[in-house]
């Protein structure tokens, strides 16, 4: 059963409040799949990573549960990602979107990660409550385009590095400590039809029977870009 995130997320005033938010980039399990994502981003001017996977840290204030974000201009877009929460030693799974300004990303990936809010689901699942093996779960993202919803991303989690492996690797590299309360976005799936911007997103994590476990819907309000 899904749990309301607000029930388990420590308050900012708590001595055990959220201490880290990480974005795990280039987190595919198959090297060919990782290269495909590198190539599709290179096609829009984004430099390849120095290593894979690569962990980007962003401000805790970037997490957004409101269902609406604001972006300057029309160049930003989202992508569905599993979110691993570690709160006071307990693990939870949710959904999130690594919404990113693609124009800025061509100059600095780290800055582009920081500049945009990261929508996250308001409900999560306790790790121990999962009924299906993680590799059997499916993530999907639809975008609203040309007057209708179209499939943008869809695939099994078995194409991505397992979240606990990412967690261990982040600790090994010193990006986090074993005591950090954290949220980590755990990698994404290839974009169907290529990476592009959209103003409305519907995302879901489903079990092996196709039953939705968690959902995330959000819209993007575009603010004018002026010189």
User: According to the 3-state scheme, what is the secondary structure of 3-32?
Assistant: EEHHHHCCCCCCCCCCCEEEEEECCECCHH
Where do the structural domains in the chain lie, given as residue ranges? 3-223
Fold type of domain 3-223 = Fumarylacetoacetate hydrolase; domain 2 (3.90.850)
The predicted structure's pLDDT at residue 33:
74
Name the residue among 159, 133, 180, 8 with its Cα closest to residue 80. Answer: 159
The predicted structure's pLDDT at residue 150:
97
CA-to-CA distance for 146 and 149, rounded, in angstroms? 8
How many C-beta atoms surround the C-beta of residue 11 within 10 A? Answer: 9
Q: Taking the model in full, what pTM does it have? A: 0.92
The predicted structure's pLDDT at residue 195:
87
The predicted structure's pLDDT at residue 132:
86
Residues in the chain with pLDDT values less than 50: none
């Amino acid at each position: 059963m899904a749990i309301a995130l607000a029930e388990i997320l420590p308050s900012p005033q708590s001595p055990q409040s959220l201490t880290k938010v990480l974005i795990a980039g280039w987190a595919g399990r198959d090297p060919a799949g990782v290269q495909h994502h590198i190539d599709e981003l290179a096609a829009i001017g984004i430099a390849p990573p120095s290593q894979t996977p690569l962990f980007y840290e962003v401000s805790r204030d970037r997490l957004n549960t409101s269902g609406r974000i604001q972006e300057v201009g029309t160049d930003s877009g989202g992508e569905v990602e599993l979110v691993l929460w570690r709160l006071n030693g307990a693990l939870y799974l949710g959904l999130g979107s690594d919404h990113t300004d693609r124009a800025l990303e061509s100059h600095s990936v780290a800055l582009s990660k920081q500049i945009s809010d990261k929508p996250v689901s308001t409900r999560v699942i306790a790790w121990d409550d999962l009924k299906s093996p993680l590799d059997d779960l499916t993530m999907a993202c639809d975008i609203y385009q040309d007057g209708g919803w179209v499939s943008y991303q869809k695939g099994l989690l078995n194409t991505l590095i397992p979240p606990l492996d990412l967690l261990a690797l982040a600790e090994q590299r010193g990006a986090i400590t074993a005591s950090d309360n954290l949220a980590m976005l755990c990698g994404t799936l290839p974009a169907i039809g290529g990476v592009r911007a959209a103003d409305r997103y519907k995302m879901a994590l489903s079990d092996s029977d196709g039953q939705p476990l968690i959902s995330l819907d959000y819209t993007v309000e575009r603010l004018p870009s002026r010189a």
